[in-house]
A and B are shown apart, each in its own frame.
Chain A
Amino acid sequence: NAGVTQTPKFQVLKTGQSMTLQCAQDMNHNSMYWYRQDPGMGLRLIYYSASEGTTDKGEVPNGYNVSRLNKREFSLRLESAAPSQTSVYFCASSMAGQGYEQYFGPGTRLTVT
């Protein structure tokens, strides 16, 4: 099993450009998540999908949109990138319900100039 995969690994954007970060999991998990990681701030939840067909905002959703394409795939879109969105983005997945750990992808390092 590949676990959680993310593409691309690195990306540089100019302010105002758009892009989509892709995430896929092969563990048959119901729930998927997008986080951003910034120095000194830990991980902050951007959006999550508790199950296929549902998405909800997390702690820092502004400037982002998501699509739960099917049970395996959960994409994150930046419509008009800003320098404040320079960060490392992680996708994660888990079984539905309480007490289940999350499995993380390797991350996408995004720089917006």
Chain B
Amino acid sequence: AQSVTQLGSHVSVSEGALVLLRCNYSSSVPPYLFWYVQYPNQGLQLLLKYTSAATLVKGINGFEAEFKKSETSFHLTKPSAHMSDAAEYFCAVSAGGGYQKVTFGIGTKLQVIP
């Protein structure tokens, strides 16, 4: 069984401040982990993914995430928020099975305050 918990359905940061979006996963086998971003009225786009090659993963738009097995976490960070980062962010886990079943978190809406 696999699951994802995103802490905080809404997060607000000031422009230029650190962005930290939290994600914890549960998996009985080594997981693949993803962060997706969804802008208003659009589909989801991949930000970054962890596939066991490296624990610190860099993605698009200056985002990165660190896989911490001991904490079962895959938090998303960006050093300096930009107004264009305002969107909804989804953490997702895929952990085996005959096909790539992906379980999504409920999402975190990021608000950037000017």
Contact = CB atoms under 8 A, between A and B. Distances in A.
A99 B42 contact: no
Contact of A90 (B41, B44, B98, B106): B44
Q: What are the 10 tightest A-B residue pairs by CB atom distance, in nearest-first order?
A: A104-B43, A50-B99, A42-B106, A43-B104, A99-B51, A101-B46, A42-B104, A104-B44, A99-B32, A106-B43
Contacts of A41: 106
A104 B42 CA distance: 9
Given A99-B32, A101-B49, A40 B9 contact: yes
A4 interface: yes
B110 to A, nearest CB: 15
Interface residues of B, number: 24
B45 A99 contact: no
B102 interface: yes
Contacts of B42: 106-107
A45 interface: yes
Contacts of A102: 44, 46, 100, 102
B69 interface: no
A50 B97 CA distance: 11
Interface in A24-75: 31, 40-45, 48, 50, 56
Interface in B20-74: 32, 34, 36, 41-46, 49, 51
B107 A42 contact: yes
Contacts of B32: 98-99
Nearest to A104: B43
A94 B36 CA distance: 14
A42 B99 contact: no
Contacts of B45: 104
Given A41-B106, A99-B32, A106-B42, A50 B98 contact: yes
Given A99-B51, A101-B34, A107 B43 contact: yes
Given A4-B43, A102-B102, A107-B41, 7 more contacts: A42-B106, A42-B107, A43-B44, A48-B99, A98-B32, A100-B100, A104-B45
